[in-house]
Amino acid sequence: MVRVIKMENKRIIFHVDVNNAFLSWDAAYRIQHGSTIDLRDIPSIVGGNQATRHGIVLAKSIPTKKFNIITGESIWQAKQKCPNLVVVPPNYHLYMQCSSALIKILEEYSDKLQIYSIDECFIDFTKMRQLLGDPLTVANQLKSRIKKELGFTVNIGISSNKLLAKMAGELKKPDLVHTLYPEEIKNKMWILPVEDLFMVGRATTLKLHKLGIYTIGQLAQTDIELLKYTFKKSGIILWNYSNGIENSFIENKKLTNIKSISNSTTMHFDVEDKETAFKVLLSLVETVAMRLRHSGYYCRIISVLIKTSDLHSYSHQKKLVAPLNCTNAIYDILKKLFIDTWKGEPIRLLGIKVSDLTENEFYQFSLFEKSLEKQLKIDSTIDSIRMKYGSKSIFRSCFVWSGLSPLEGGVSEEFTVMSSIL
């Protein structure tokens, strides 16, 4: 006997999603600083630096569609399709600033806010309805305010649970507000292809097609026992989702989908000495550690990746006794990992990764360890300066005249991997 979750029809949930976030944020920033070209109106992408040998498409403008450029393909391939393509390197610090500015506005509309990713938030508007008024009217006002004050657009989905609110926001883009209440599921959601349902990926889509299921409506009316037999426990979730059934709560304000944070850079020259390698690692750590603190997490595993000039790769990691998010502490561990791992070959790529993330702030020092309290206060101050004045407003003196970037950007897993909404 399958227990079906009952929907709570009294709740009002908003899902706010920035339209084409990375590219929009870069475009808005450039316009605010005098640019006469809007990246959103021309063939453009956010991806690796053109000075490097590698990089993939992380975000693309709408005009790139006619060139069949897809997210995840190499920049080299994208440039073959569109020789005049404008390539913008990722700027994580700008993205954090834009995300923080968005959150500040959203906090004025509810004290129940869940940051689902850097460019997506859920808002519980239920109790605010009596104070602020009709949800649809408020959502349109919010959308217009974000566009006017921050320079980028959002889609807002409205429903009685997070699943339907998210599905509503995806109905048509950009710069729109949609509702998808339970009574609207049949006319608005069931007509969509089954692959449009949240959690249905490519492999699941193929299996569903083999069962003759091509629309969300067909999935919703399929025998749940057949879905259980084919997909095990996931079959129940698929059936529930296709019928708009989902009852998870709005959680805390922290990013909820981060499994790890990584950063890497491909140098335009071969690194052949450890001092230069250390500086590259430090530039990567500066960004990763700031991401950790910004997201409210600590890491228990630290990894280093080395790719040589002949494309041979190897890595090494360390499990920590107590979690860290201090820049210098993580950097010290990475230096030791590098020394233990590097075999002396010319290096083309260096990467780092922090994983096994936790919200635990407890750190037990031994008698022989230095306290990190002072360093963490310094980290916090530096983070605040960079968030307010930009990533280049303060950096370490060792990068002066080094020819290396003091902070390497890159995009981490929280932007590319989304877990279940439950």
Active site residues: 120
Across 89-210, where does the E strand assignment appear?
Answer: 113-117, 120-124, 154-159, 177-179
In whole angstroms, give the CA distance from residue 244 to residue 233.
17
In whole angstroms, give the CA distance from residue 389 to residue 42.
28
Amino acid identity for residue 260 in this structure = S
* DSSP code string of 72-88: TSBHHHHHHH-TT-EEE
Across 255-397, where does the E strand assignment appear?
Answer: 260-271, 299-308, 313-324, 347-355
**Could you tell me which of 372, 358, 391, 369 has the C-alpha nearest to residue 326?**
372
Please name every residue paired with 209 in a beta bridge, in sequence order, or none if there are none: none
Cis before residue 174, ω within 30 degrees of 0?
yes
In whole angstroms, give the CA distance from residue 270 to residue 256.
38
Question: Which residues have CB under 8 Å from 92's CB, separation 6+?
Answer: 287, 291, 391, 409, 410, 411, 412
Dihedral angle sign, alpha carbons of residues 357, 361, 366, 367: positive
Assess contact for 94 and 287: CB atoms under 8 A.
no
State the virtual CA torsion across 382, 384, 385, 386 in degrees, nearest 10: 90
The tokens of 337 are what? 């990992």
CA distances from 100 to 96, 166, 417 (A): 6, 21, 21
Please, where are the H alpha helices in 296-421?
327-341, 373-389
In whole angstroms, give the CA distance from residue 339 to residue 345.
12
In whole angstroms, give the CA distance from residue 154 to residue 24.
10
